[in-house]
Structure 1
Amino acid sequence: MWRNVAPRVAQLSPLERVRLRRIAVRYALHGWEVTPGACLARSRFVCGRAGCPTVGCHPALEEWQQGASADPARVATWWRSRPHGVLLPTGRAFDVLEVSAHLGRQALDTVRTHPAGEGVRGPVVVTPTGRWMFLVRPGDPLRPELEHCFHVVRHGVGSWIPAPPTRLPEGPVRWAVAPEQARWRLPDSYLVQNALVEALRAAGVRLTTELLPGHLPLPRRGC
């Protein structure tokens, strides 16, 4: 199958492939597991698996959850001949809170001025389709008022995100806050969720469960 699609996949230069490999290895060196993504071929993604029906961004490995690795040597081998996207499994080194661009900007402004300082600031990924992804410490569920709120999506075990400099048909994935800016530290999930709640309230979104001292939670009705 690769022989048939190689001419279309080869739109990235060898230098770009080396860049993808270098950055994927850097993630691995910091303990972030990596899995190769399907290669962008014009407006669709090709993973090389015969009969794969998925044309959007997706893992190149069929058993990607078992195959993901933080071993720099193993990660490097995946980019020796193919310009794979760089995908980061969630629910391992970190979880991800995904929101819209408008909410993401507001939440980031809240985080930057938060009295907890660096304890609430962490890496933030931005996709060219306008999704903002806050990397946080893994394991904590969403607050009750966010659990059924379609404005916030939590990526945990069994999910993944595209990482910079992966290219999507609309453009490259980038960092709004790079890991180096955050010193590769991850904030507490609930502190970032608090910032998202503040941003949602500022945007006029009604949250159905208020966790206020001395008050019982309201029935969950979504948002």
Structure 2
Amino acid sequence: MQWTANRPFVPLDRRRLRRHALRYATHGWAVTPGARLTGHRFDCGRPGCPIMMCHPAMEYWEDDATTDTGRVRHWWRNRPYSVLLVTGKRFDALEAPAALGLRVLGSARLHRAGIGPVAVTAAGRWMFLVRPGAPLRTELEHRLDVVRHGCGSWIPAPPSRMLEGAVRWAVDPDRTQWSLPDPEIVQNLLVDSLGAVSEPRLTVPRQMSTSRRAA
């Protein structure tokens, strides 16, 4: 059965989301439940929550995020929560637009550069997982369409669904044996690809870091 934004989740979706959440937790990636997509907005279950886009379902999500498989099973036992990965501990995520992400991936394959897992949203946002801690290079920091997710932020993980469609892996963690590259490697590839991608004007990322969401 094909799923659409107007069609409610069925039990298979909940079980699939739980299975993937457990997969991430088992490999040491902290997860937290995300609001579930209902119609054209995300519902976290908190009364009066005004946020309509994807967001954590728990108020203190950063403190409650875990790799404990028992807690993960409990969270997804009855509700089809989105799966969110907490950044800044085991990994950071470098988010870029599709035009830039495709060039980076192609360049990495051409030059056999080490690259880690890469998640892609249906809206065209590419998220490169790297070792944590390194700030963005100045060539990237000023761009509105490039975001570093570090401490205090999160990213949606496959197979969660956004308004535009499901999040997927362009490079599955199994392909890299769950290893993460040095952030300098991916940032260098991003910078090298900038010449072929025009500077954004009013583009705002679909999924922004906590610092930029609060700005």
Instruction: Classify the TM-score, shorter chain.
Output: 0.7 to 0.9
TM-superposed CA distance for 1:204, in Å, is 5.9
Instruction: Tell me the amino acid that sits aligned with residue 191 of structure 1.
Output: I
Q: Cα RMSD over matched residues?
A: 1.7
Identity among equivalent pairs (%): 58
CA distance in 1, matches of 2:186, 2:111: 10
Q: What does 1:1-223 correspond to in 2, within 5 Å?
A: 11-115=8-112, 117=113, 120-203=114-197
CA distance in 2, matches of 1:87, 1:195: 26
Rg (Cα) greater in structure: 1
Which secondary structure state, in structure 2, belongs to the residue aligned with residue 134 of structure 1? strand
Which secondary structure state, in structure 2, belongs to the residue aligned with residue 16 of structure 1? helix
TM-superposed CA distance for 1:198, in Å, is 0.9
Superposed CA deviations along residues 106-129 of structure 1, whole A, max 9, x for unmatched, are 0111112235x4xx2110010011
TM-superposed CA distance for 1:170, in Å, is 1.2
> Could you tell me whether the CA contact under 8 Å between 1:164 and 1:173 is conserved in 2?
yes
CA distance in 1, matches of 2:84, 2:185: 25
Instruction: Tell me the amino acid that sits aligned with residue 163 of structure 1.
Output: A
Superposed CA deviations along residues 29-85 of structure 1, whole A, max 9, x for unmatched, are 000000000111011111111111111100000000000001111111110000000
Q: TM-score, normalised by structure 2?
A: 0.87
Which secondary structure state, in structure 2, belongs to the residue aligned with residue 176 of structure 1? strand
Which secondary structure state, in structure 1, belongs to the residue aligned with residue 148 of structure 2? strand
> Could you tell me whether the CA contact under 8 Å between 1:9 and 1:40 is conserved in 2?
no
Which secondary structure state, in structure 1, belongs to the residue aligned with residue 135 of structure 2? coil
Q: How many residues align?
A: 195
Segments of 5+ residues of structure 1 without an aligned counterpart are: 1-7, 206-223
Which secondary structure state, in structure 2, belongs to the residue aligned with residue 180 of structure 1? helix
Q: TM-score, normalised by structure 1?
A: 0.84
Which secondary structure state, in structure 1, belongs to the residue aligned with residue 169 of structure 2? strand
Instruction: Tell me the amino acid that sits aligned with residue 37 of structure 2.
Output: L
Name 1:216's counterpart in structure 2: none
CA distance in 2, matches of 1:21, 1:39: 13
Which secondary structure state, in structure 2, belongs to the residue aligned with residue 181 of structure 1? helix
TM-superposed CA distance for 1:9, in Å, is 10
